[in-house]
Amino acid sequence: MRGRLIFLTGVGVGYVLGARAGRARYEQIRSATTRVWNSDGVQKQVHTIEDFIADRTPDVADFIGETTKKVVRKAGPKGSGGSSES
C-alpha cells in the first residue's frame, strides 16, 4: 500500500510539473530525445543489439522447448493413472 501511495504521489508531482512546463518545454524535450535516438552512435548500438537478439532467438527457443519437454516428462502420469474427470 505504501508503494502505491508513493507511486501515485510521483505521478501527481510529474503531472503538475509537466503542466507548468507547458507544451514548448515538451517539444524541446521531444526534439532532443529524437536527436539522440537518431544519432549514429545510438543507432549503431541498436543494430548491434538487434543482431545479437536475432542470433540468440533460435537458441532460446530450443532451450525453452527442451526444458518444457523435461518438465512434462517429470510431471507425467503418476498415481492411479486414470483421468480426474468428474
Asked if residues 36 and 42 have their Cβ atoms less than 8 Å apart, the reply is yes
**Each residue of 31-86: pLDDT tens digit?**
999 999 999 999 999 999 999 999 888 888 889 999 999 999 998 776 545 455 54
Cell numbers describing residue 51: 543482431
- pLDDT at position 29 is 83
